[in-house]
Chains A and B, each alone.
Chain A
């Protein structure tokens, strides 16, 4: 794991700020500023994977029983999964209250 962004000095940056560590976007926890989260009704889920396919942040993961749910560390709460789910088993719930 590379250093957190706020600890990197200018001397440690590669020329052109080229990122040489693969997949380090994982360190950037985009779920921290979400206003709504998707909640899946697992019993209704038909395990088709449409939400997984459409998620722009690739944060949908497969649960052990085969249904899909969002990894809330990265989910920005855009609601695309809820909109695309063919059986309507995903509901967006406000993070407030």
Chain B
């Protein structure tokens, strides 16, 4: 088994991973900051290095429609988008999940308009939180590369059959040059079987997909979806475990750092986890008993793992990257409060919304957030949310 360590832009590494996964169809429309991923894939296909259909569609709505069609015939399908592109896809995004069509999307997270902005936060992905896709958040370039293979493996598993989004922070990850370990194709083939779709469209086995549902059956159809997403959990854990056994890089639905004996934990999703770990190291040296809890699997939400990681702590300082206007807090904090409500030993939650539309959150800002959050928790100021760094 030969691996290769490369210094490479994360978007290019992700495109290389998609090619190594031997994808059959790529349909995407370029949008910042996702563009380099599909741009590089179009080069790979045009150069004859990958036997795949690259469909240069006229809009994201069409991109997702093409993906549904290709997935329905049992083709391995990839797409990528961001922000306004995701908004334009939204109609078909929901339908892909409802029809249980496996595919992998690299969702390069970017703020939604308006005001118009091209920079990174999580407002785009939160818009489609309830669509019925599997959502994974990654922290660095290696995780982007690895989760392409894990993503296809999970999405196409005959027990799952759900579309899957890999959420990677726009620019912070997409445009970063990082060291990434490439696995050889033999390892990938061992890990990732061919698509096996029970009800793929084929003239020999006619089926109807995407039918309308009367009130008599719609509720049952939704329960079938709910069961599908919730029950994907053990297969996801197994797929990550097996990837770890092959490569030595293990992933879990909830990951912790110096959290076991911590009184206070900072909770992050995505690339902020890396900075949080560094800041926690520094604060530990100053005698603060703090740790990091990172949510990698957002849907299905890993309730048991999360509770196991945090019950008994004094407080959680939760960083959200999106606002729910007029609501109880950022979407992550809101869900965590709900997951802990009424549980014995539940920590209180202090919620910060930070880093909107790419505003930099430095190590010093993380330190401020943790120490300020701790002080708020001690004073019992745990309602609502605070917009970090707001002027005025």
Shortest beta-carbon distance from A8 to chain B in Å: 6
Binds B, one of A14-22, A64-72, A88-96: A14-22
Which residues of chain A from 38 to 91 have a CB within 8 Å of any chain B CB? none
Chain B residues in 8 Å Cβ range of A19: 207-209, 211
Q: B221, A10: Cβ atoms under 8 Å?
A: yes
Q: A5, B216: Cβ atoms under 8 Å?
A: yes
Nearest to A12 among chain B residues (CB) is B220
A14 to B99, CA, bound (A): 10
Q: B223, A16: Cβ atoms under 8 Å?
A: no
B179 located at the interface, meaning its Cβ lies under 8 Å from any Cβ of chain A in the complex: no
A1 located at the interface, meaning its Cβ lies under 8 Å from any Cβ of chain B in the complex: no
Q: A15, B161: Cβ atoms under 8 Å?
A: yes
Q: B213, A20: Cβ atoms under 8 Å?
A: no
> Residue B221 contacts which of A6, A17, A20 (CB distance < 8 angstroms)?
A17
Query: C-beta contact mask, B89-105 vs A, less than 8 Å → 1, else 0?
Result: 00000000011110000
Interface residues of A, CB < 8 Å — how many? 15
Q: A17, B213: Cβ atoms under 8 Å?
A: yes
Q: A18, B224: Cβ atoms under 8 Å?
A: no
Q: B199, A16: Cβ atoms under 8 Å?
A: yes
Q: B224, A15: Cβ atoms under 8 Å?
A: yes
Q: A20, B224: Cβ atoms under 8 Å?
A: no
- Contact status of A22 and B206, CB under 8 A, knowing A10-B223, A17-B221, A17-B224: yes
Q: A18, B220: Cβ atoms under 8 Å?
A: no
- Contact status of A18 and B217, CB under 8 A, knowing A10-B224, A10-B227, A13-B224: no
A9 to B221, CA, bound (A): 9
Query: C-beta contact mask, A1-38 vs B, less than 8 Å → 1, else 0?
Result: 00001101111011111111010000000000000000
B1 located at the interface, meaning its Cβ lies under 8 Å from any Cβ of chain A in the complex: no
Chain A residues in 8 Å Cβ range of B217: 5-6, 8, 13, 17
Can you give 23 A-B contacts (C-beta < 8 A)? A5-B216, A6-B216, A6-B217, A8-B217, A8-B220, A10-B221, A10-B224, A10-B227, A11-B224, A13-B217, A13-B221, A15-B100, A15-B198, A15-B199, A15-B228, A16-B101, A17-B211, A17-B213, A18-B199, A18-B207, A20-B199, A20-B207, A22-B206
Hey, which bits of chain A sit against chain B, CB under 8 A? Answer: 5-6, 8-11, 13-20, 22
Given A13-B220, A16-B99, A22-B206, 8 other A-B contacts at CB below 8 A?
A5-B216, A8-B220, A10-B223, A13-B221, A16-B100, A17-B98, A17-B224, A18-B209
